[in-house]
Amino acid sequence: MATAEITHELLDELPQEPATRYVRELLVHAGILPLRQENLVQLELWFRAAAQHLPAARSEIIRPFAEWFIIRDARRRATRRRYTDKAAHSDRSEIRAAIEFMQWLDDRHLDLRALTQTDLEVWLAQAKPSRPRLTAAFIKWTNKRGLTRNLEYPGYQRPAPATFLDDDDQADQLRRCLTDTSLPLDIRIAGALIRLYGLPITRIVHLTADQFHEDDTGAYFTFDKNPVLLPPTLARLIERQIAEGRRHSAVGALPDSEHQQLLLPGRLAGRPRSHGGLAAQLAKHGLPTLAARNTSLFGMAGELPPIVMCDLFGIHKNTAVQWAALAQDSWAGYLAALKATE
């Protein structure tokens, strides 16, 4: 009976289904396989499979774009920081959009090198709502390499947030997170972090126990550059979660110091839980995420300078500036309306 050493490469040859990923995580957890940037490798494996179905003429363009632009940039980013599920999804979506765009050209017997601005605008008008934004990277790449003739691509402007909670609902939900013992502990913590600090779930699932510390002045959590003083009730919840965290995993914590204890661990220690699953659980308990996060960020933007929001909560500077502008516009509109009623 033939046997083979279990390696990442051996598992890479199997269909990348949930069962394969679960077995891989078990083997990494047990120290049989080394850690690697799994989201990055899965992106590479996904494109390898997708490229096999591309016609030769289309492959000549899609492969360099995907491998030497999108995936190479992903590798570069992965050397500096964790390459997240969200980053992989975004990169995969840009490659998919390029494939769909090339298919659209073929269906209409259009040549990329002869593409006109009018042709591009027809695509923009007909494509799925998300595709024009995602195709921008591909068009910029083809322009730069002379494959298209300096086509103009409209800039994408993220629409202003439209979903908020009123102050009473936000306060009531925060109170539930901090005091309602019928809610699961992890749900209480995640819900409070969203409502107090506007953290996205994609970041919450990667928070680690060593970001929390206490001293004579109180309990702190370092979300980004500087520690943030926590309300005592939330601090006690986090203390409990850290103490109980290992019990929430199907396999115990790793002894390897490289594996930091996650604040909200997934099934396997050292692996974050699904952010989609956490969002679904929050919604199930009447704690929506988007409206609560928008409300929190709007409130902070009215009180804190953008640079402080960046340093305390890891918000991108452009995002912080946009929220500050939104808060300022809202306040100016309120004052104008108040003056009009005088």
Report CA dihedral (55, 56, 57, 58) to the nearest 10 degrees. 50
**What whole-number percentage of the chain has pLDDT above 90?**
41
Question: Does residue 185 sit in the same domain as residue 319?
Answer: yes
pLDDT for the residue numbered 158? 65
Average pLDDT, integer, range 83-105: 91
- Contact indicator for 54, 95 with CB cutoff of 8 Å: no
Question: Does residue 115 sit in the same domain as residue 237?
Answer: no
Q: Which string of DSSP letters, residue by residue, matches 89-138?
A: HHHHHHHHHHHHHHHHHHHTT--GGG--HHHHHHHHHHS-TTHHHHHHHH
pLDDT for the residue numbered 1? 46
- Contact indicator for 290, 202 with CB cutoff of 8 Å: no
> Does residue 325 belong to any structural domain of this protein?
yes
- Contact indicator for 331, 240 with CB cutoff of 8 Å: no
Determine the residue type at 225: K
What CA–CA distances, in Å, run from 40 to 4, 77, 86? 25, 10, 11
- Cα–chain center distance at 245: 23
**What whole-number percentage of the chain has pLDDT above 70?**
87
pTM for this prediction: 0.71
Q: How confident is the model at residue 332 (pLDDT cuts 50, 70, 90)?
A: very low
- Cα–chain center distance at 307: 22
Q: Give the model confidence (pLDDT) of 39-83 as tens digits.
A: 999 999 999 999 999 999 899 999 999 999 999 999 999 888 888
- Contact indicator for 263, 272 with CB cutoff of 8 Å: no
> Does residue 31 belong to any structural domain of this protein?
no
Residue at which a domain ends, from 113, 144, 175: 144
Question: Does residue 136 sit in the same domain as residue 173?
Answer: no
The DSSP call for residue 22 is H
Question: Does residue 103 sit in the same domain as residue 136?
Answer: yes
Place of tokens 């370092």: 222
User: Does the structure show a pLDDT above 90 at 301?
Assistant: no
pLDDT for the residue numbered 333? 46
pLDDT for the residue numbered 156? 58
Q: Which range, of 88-92, 251-255, 281-285, averages the lowest pLDDT?
A: 251-255
Q: Give the model confidence (pLDDT) of 130-144 as tens digits.
A: 777 788 899 999 999
Is 161 or 45 the better-scoring residue by pLDDT?
A: 45
Average pLDDT, integer, range 152-180: 84
Question: Does residue 130 sit in the same domain as residue 231?
Answer: no
Residue at which a domain ends, from 129, 144, 159: 144
Question: Does residue 114 sit in the same domain as residue 188?
Answer: no
Range of the domain at 310: 167-252+260-340
Structural domain total, the chain? 2
